Amino acid sequence: MEPIRVMVVDDSVVVRKIVTDVLSQDPMITVVGTAPNGRLAVAKLDQLKPDLVTMDIEMPDMNGIEAVRAIRAGAGGSVRSRVPIIMFSTLTERGASATLDALSAGANDYVTKPANVGSVGESMESVRQQLVPKIKALTGRPLTGGAPAPATAPVAPRPPAPRVRARQEPAILVIGSSTGGPEALTKVLPLLPAALPVPVLLVQHMPPVFTRQFAQRLDRLCALEVVEAVAGTPLAPGTVHIAPGDFHLTVTGTGGVRRTALDQGPAENFCRPAVDVLFRSAVAAYDGAVLGVVLTGMGSDGRIGTGRIREAGGTVIAQDQATSVVWGMPGAVTQAGHADEVLPLGRVAEAISRLLPVARPLASGARR
């Protein structure tokens, strides 16, 4: 099996060396070249033919966002124009905003640069833990070796498992996503009406700062109100609550007024926030009257939670393989038999509207 060919783009000599050294220690990865700015990176693509590019954001001459746009504008849908790109970001307001701009421009995912670490060794370990799994996921390779499983190779979905309990009309919508999720959500949530008859709770695997910026961006795009979740907020139809980075989002209350809750309990599926935590709590609070949606993402977060939803009479939608950046999370749900419908991204919003109760008319003065 040929190793994954990676090009490292960063204006910092130190960062280029750290990333190159980390990747070179993995037998499944080879660094085929580096570049100190976006313009040289774009110029080298045809020569180096990388399977994936890691891209810094702040660089001279051509920054990372401009480079992503230039790569994605490659002629005729060439292989070059479709190469997976992982951005290197900082955990700052400016870094989060720039990263979201890069994802909108066509980058596939991002990792955060090590901050406040005491040694080069700790920096390397931080990069290794974040970057290597994403490189392998985006290039269709298993995390622990073995034959490649390209994302283009279709996997037959497993039919949904028989229901234990009759299907219920949903009283809440819960959504989980990860790699590729920010762009997927910008294609789903803006298509939902302001008069959506249920509250929406959402886990997108993102660090602190990023989730607040992302909520603000979605709020500008959507008829729905989109907010970063705050503990103790009553749940009302037509509002989307996004789990803040590093906090699990749950629902409290089983009757009357149900509210959001946040906690920093143990990570699940290596994630906090975790989709499974949200889905379990929604099932308990709404006695199974839940519509769960799992979009693109690496890993298997959401597989157990969607099983709970279906067992309790809820309904599950999973994004299909062809339109997922990484078919890890929705693939795990589908292959477990937990998906009632497996749909391309462009049909998810229509299915949500179809499965929810009839929307009520907007009250006078309501948000549009």
Distance of CA 7 to the CA centre of its chain: 23
For 139-148, the CB contacts below 8 A with 24+ separation are 139/4, 139/51, 139/52, 139/84, 141/4, 141/28, 145/27, 145/28, 147/1, 148/1
Contacts of 329 (CB under 8 A, 6+ apart): 176, 177, 178, 275, 294, 295, 296, 297, 298, 299, 300, 301, 302, 303
241 is catalytic: no
**What is the side-by-side strand order in the sheet with 239-242?**
225-228, 239-242, 200-204, 172-177, 290-294, 315-319, 341-343
Where would I find the H helices in 228-292? 275-286
Q: Count Cα neighbours of 18 within 13 Å in the Cβ-side half-sphere.
A: 20
Considering 205, 241, 248, 338, which one is annotated as catalytic? Answer: 205
C-alpha span between 157 and 337 (Å, rounded)? 8
Kindly provide the residue ranges of all beta strands, DSSP E only, lying in 41-171, ordered along the sequence: 52-56, 85-89, 109-112
3-class secondary structure, 332: helix
Contacts of 159 (CB under 8 A, 6+ apart): 337
Burial class, 118, CB count within 10 angstroms (exposed 0-12 / middle 13-18 / buried 19+):
exposed
Considering 89, 97, 177, 178, which one is annotated as catalytic? Answer: 178
Could you tell me if 179 and 188 are in contact, meaning their C-beta atoms sit under 8 angstroms apart? no
Contacts of 5 (CB under 8 A, 6+ apart): 30, 32, 48, 49, 50, 51, 52
Considering 301, 320, 324, 338, which one is annotated as catalytic? Answer: 301
Distance of CA 204 to the CA centre of its chain: 5
Task: Return the active site residues.
Answer: 178, 205, 301
